């Protein structure tokens, strides 16, 4: 049997892995600037966590989760995490922070798993980078997260479209829900099978159905059912992000596919991708901590689809600073010893340095240097060692000159600055 990767899973090699790592590195730097702490959560949770939070009628819980029975705990069904928010909320409650110190800011990064139809930018194992803020119900917190995302967009040199909506809170949302339910019943014969199954339990699912798009466009709008308090909250969010220079549009069809969202919801798309263009999504979930057994603490968060963000970066061909790459070629045992020292000094500058195999000929090592895309080759042999020097070859210009070892770092530093 030929061993190949599973459907919907992928291997990330070379530049693909590097681009993903670059996006995460930029996001981590942003978290430091915003004072957000990291949290690491398990990849396995009890299925009830997602049933109670994400919602039994959601696509994720009803169709997409990878589950299995735990042999160590009879009767327990485990699930590979399909998203990060429920696990972060569980950890927050379990640590007692909801009562001892409710205001917390966390970020997480790592793989998620969903059994869905694979396509470009959508995989069964994918990576998310998410932020969750607890203990803040004010619109300034909503605005700060949206500005944070816009800062990441600027750092990466990308163009995004910010689409925002408000779903209202527990006071005004029932009227909106009832209007959508009545609308769905009137158009029962036009609904798809999935909408038939979930209309009575969660009619808002009709609005994010990918099949009944035309019906969703004509459905009631949540903005028309907001109470004065929710309207003021949403207007303040829009005013604050506008003042901060974030460009946005209001899209009353943004409801998100998860049960726990309320008030501010948003979806952020890239102009450089096709149909699967959503790169960031999130919103407010003020009732979720309490639903999962904690205190009535408000919360808000977002998740970045890292693969899609990486695809957007590649599609935009956004130039980013890369360290010059050096191929270090040593000819002979004594040269290998010296080259090991040189490599460490150059990496500390920092430069990318790859020591090539001294068991190959000079010609073979130069071919390897070209293959790995090195900018320069530093060649050290017996003659160079005797003169405390190295040959510095500019592989782009096909030129070579001798440089003393004392001057090598300075010469490469000058070349790097050009």
Q: What CA–CA distance (Å, rounded) separates 412 from 389?
A: 14
DSSP structure class, residue 160: E
Number of domains in the chain: 2
- What does pTM read for this prediction? 0.80
pLDDT in tens, 64-111: 888 888 777 777 888 899 999 999 999 999 999 999 999 999 999 999
Whose structure tokens read 């997409």?
A: 64
209 occurs within a structural domain: no
Residue 41 pLDDT greater than 60, yes or no: yes
Residue of 350, 356, 361, 348 lying closest to 378 (CA atoms): 356
Do 329 and 311 fall within a single domain?
Answer: no
Do 161 and 253 fall within a single domain?
Answer: yes
Amino acid 185: pLDDT: 81
The percentage of residues in the chain with a pLDDT greater than 90, rounded to a whole number, is 48
Tokens of 158: 């990308």
Q: What CA–CA distance (Å, rounded) separates 53 from 67?
A: 16
Q: Which of 263, 289, 316 is the last residue of a domain?
A: 316
Domain that holds residue 26: 15-172+226-316
Give the DSSP H or E segment for 153: helix 139-156
Whose structure tokens read 């927050």?
A: 92
377 occurs within a structural domain: yes
- Backbone dihedral angles phi then psi of residue 388, each to the nearest 5 degrees: 55, 50
Amino acid 173: pLDDT: 80
Tokens of 199: 């209309």
Question: pLDDT: is 75 or 241 the higher one?
Answer: 241
Question: pLDDT: is 415 or 155 the higher one?
Answer: 155
Tokens of 147: 């500005």
9 occurs within a structural domain: no
Contact present, 55 and 258 (Cβ < 8 Å)? yes
Q: Are strands 44-46 and 77-80 parallel, antiparallel or unpaired?
A: antiparallel
Q: Which of 281, 316, 351 is the last residue of a domain?
A: 316
Please report, for residues 50, 66, 74, 78, 87, the alpha-carbon distance to residue 69 in angstroms, rounded to integers and kept in the order given. 16, 11, 8, 6, 19
Q: What CA–CA distance (Å, rounded) separates 41 from 111?
A: 11
Q: What CA–CA distance (Å, rounded) separates 267 from 264?
A: 10
Amino acid 255: pLDDT: 72
63 occurs within a structural domain: yes
User: What integer best gives the mean pLDDT of the chain?
Assistant: 86
Q: Which of 260, 283, 316 is the last residue of a domain?
A: 316
DSSP structure class, residue 412: H
Amino acid 1: pLDDT: 72
99 occurs within a structural domain: yes
pLDDT grade for 202, boundaries at 50, 70 and 90: confident
153 occurs within a structural domain: yes
Amino acid 6: pLDDT: 84
Contact present, 20 and 314 (Cβ < 8 Å)? no
Mean pLDDT of 322-333: 87
Amino acid 176: pLDDT: 83
Amino acid 70: pLDDT: 77
Helix (H, G, I), strand (E, B) or coil at 45: strand
């Amino acid at each position: 049997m030929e061993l190949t990767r599973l459907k919907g899973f992928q291997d990330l090699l070379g530049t693909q892995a590097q681009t993903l790592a670059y996006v995460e590195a930029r996001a981590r730097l942003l978290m430091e600037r915003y004072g957000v702490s990291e949290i690491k959560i398990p990849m396995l949770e009890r299925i009830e966590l997602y049933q109670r939070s994400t919602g039994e009628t959601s696509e994720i819980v009803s169709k997409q989760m990878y589950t299995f029975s735990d042999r160590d705990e009879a009767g327990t069904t485990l699930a590979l995490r399909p998203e990060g928010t429920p696990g972060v909320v569980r950890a927050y409650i379990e640590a007692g922070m909801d009562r001892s110190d409710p205001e917390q800011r966390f970020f997480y990064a790592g793989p998620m798993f969903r059994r869905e139809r694979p396509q470009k930018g959508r995989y069964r194992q994918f990576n998310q980078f998410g932020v969750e803020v607890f203990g803040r119900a004010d619109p300034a917190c909503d605005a700060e997260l949206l500005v944070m995302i816009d800062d990441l967009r600027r750092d990466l040199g990308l163009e995004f479209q910010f689409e925002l909506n408000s779903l209202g809170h527990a006071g005004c949302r029932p009227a909106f829900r009832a209007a959508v339910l009545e609308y769905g019943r009137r158009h029962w014969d036009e609904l798809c099978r999935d909408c038939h199954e979930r209309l009575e339990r969660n009619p808002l699912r009709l609005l994010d159905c990918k099949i009944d798009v035309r019906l969703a466009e004509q459905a009631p709008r949540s903005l028309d059912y907001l109470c004065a308090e929710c309207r003021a909250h949403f207007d303040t969010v829009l005013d604050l992000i506008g003042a901060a220079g974030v460009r946005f549009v209001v899209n009353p069809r943004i409801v998100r596919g998860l049960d726990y969202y309320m008030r501010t919801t948003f979806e952020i798309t890239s102009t450089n991708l096709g149909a699967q263009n959503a790169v960031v999504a999130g919103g407010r979930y003020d009732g979720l901590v309490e639903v999962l057994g904690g205190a009535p603490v408000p919360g808000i968060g977002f998740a970045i689809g890292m693969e899609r963000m990486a695809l957007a970066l590649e599609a935009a061909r956004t130039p980013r600073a890369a360290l010059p790459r050096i191929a270090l070629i040593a000819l002979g045992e004594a040269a290998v010893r010296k080259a090991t020292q040189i490599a460490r000094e150059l990496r500390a500058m920092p430069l990318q340095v790859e020591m090539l195999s001294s068991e190959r000929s000079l010609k073979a090592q130069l071919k390897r240097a070209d293959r790995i895309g090195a900018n320069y080759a530093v060649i050290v042999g017996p003659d160079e060692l005797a003169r405390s020097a190295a040959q510095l070859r500019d592989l782009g210009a096909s030129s070579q000159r001798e440089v003393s070892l004392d001057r090598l770092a300075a010469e490469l530093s000058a070349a790097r600055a050009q």
